[in-house]
């Protein structure tokens, strides 16, 4: 983390799905770089405590948000506009990923995944657009995944479709919003060692994933936060309509036995 935080001084940021994990790392990094933060999440207790840890209400605020709902997306944006005088950065990181084979996915489950992951992306972009247009400036950042756009696995048909859809939306929004001084980009994380993965996956599973990654480790939430910071800063001012893959090289090998001196 920078010892001289300055890249986001004077900026206000909304981080959806920001109570913990990747979203929490992004919100924390943005705050350390000088931004005022609205943390939006369905987890009220965790989100309230985390926002409080980032500073007083003049520095960070929490708003309970189901990003699949239009009114909630608009309320989250309004929190930044009302209390911080505008909104410069939007990060939509909220996502759900139930494991269900396609033959067993019920329409309600399909709709729920699309609602949070894909509809939520569109809703928060639409909600933030008027304030960003008025300012002539904006950074929209969406958490996609390598799952869907590049690879997939059984049980993730709906998740894969939602994340591939996010990549398509990024391109369309980048084109439509470019004239307003707004950039639209995404991040495609690989396997990230979050609290959820530690709690829900065995040590053997995690070791197997590490063995499939050329850099030899799973990613950390901070690895994603670093990419998000770049896309949120003025250093990325000539980049729009694309994604950054942050996967330790996981999607590179043609076969499982990829190391130069395999044992």
The residue annotated as part of the active site, out of 97, 122, 159, 238, is 159
- β-sheet bridge partners, residue 92: 16, 142
* Token code pair at residue 77: 């944006």
Give the distance from CA 256 to its chain's centroid: 29
Cα–Cα distance, 42 to 14 (Å, whole number): 14
Q: How many residues in total does the chain contain?
A: 263
Phi, psi (deg, nearest 5) at residue 192: -110, 130
- How far is it, in rounded angstroms, from Cα 175 to Cα 209? 36
Phi, psi (5° rounding) for residue 148?
A: 120, -70
Helices (H) and strands (E) in the chain, counts: 9, 7
Q: Is 91 helix (H, G, I), strand (E, B) or coil?
A: strand
Q: Is 122 a catalytic residue?
A: no
Through-space distance between the first and last CA atoms of the chain, rounded to whole angstroms: 37
The 10 Å Cβ neighbour count of residue 14 is: 30
Give DSSP secondary structure letters for 199-262: HHS-HHHHHHHHHTSTTSS-B-HHHHHHHHHHHHSGGGTT--S-EEEESTTTT--SSS--SSS-
State the CB neighbour count (10 A cutoff) for residue 16. Answer: 31
* Catalytic residue list: 159
């Amino acid at each position: 983390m920078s010892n001289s935080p300055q890249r986001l001084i004077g900026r206000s940021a909304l981080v959806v799905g920001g109570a913990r994990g990747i979203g929490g790392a992004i919100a924390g990094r943005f705050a350390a770089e000088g931004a005022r933060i609205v943390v939006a999440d369905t987890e009220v207790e965790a989100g309230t405590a985390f926002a409080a840890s980032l500073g007083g209400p003049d520095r960070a605020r929490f708003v309970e948000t189901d990003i699949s709902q239009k009114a909630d997306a608009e309320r989250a944006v309004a929190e930044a506009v009302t209390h911080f005088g505008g909104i410069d950065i939007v990060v939509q990181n909220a996502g759900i990923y139930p494991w269900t084979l396609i033959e067993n996915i019920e329409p309600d489950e399909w709709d729920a995944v699309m609602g949070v992951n894909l509809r939520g992306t569109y809703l928060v972009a639409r909600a933030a657009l008027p304030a960003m247009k008025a300012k002539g400036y904006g950074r929209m950042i969406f958490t996609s995944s390598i799952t869907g756009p590049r690879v997939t696995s059984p049980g993730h048909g709906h998740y894969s479709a939602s994340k591939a859809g996010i990549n398509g939306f990024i391109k369309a929004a980048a084109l439509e919003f470019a004239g307003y001084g707004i950039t639209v980009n995404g991040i495609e994380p690989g396997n990230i060692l979050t609290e959820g993965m530690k709690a829900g996956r065995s040590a053997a599973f995690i070791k197997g994933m590490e063995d499939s990654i050329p850099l030899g480790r799973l990613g950390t939430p901070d690895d994603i936060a670093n990419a998000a910071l770049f896309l949120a800063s003025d250093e990325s001012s000539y980049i729009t309509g694309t994604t950054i893959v942050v996967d330790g090289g996981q999607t590179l090998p043609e076969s499982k036995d990829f190391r130069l001196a395999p044992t």
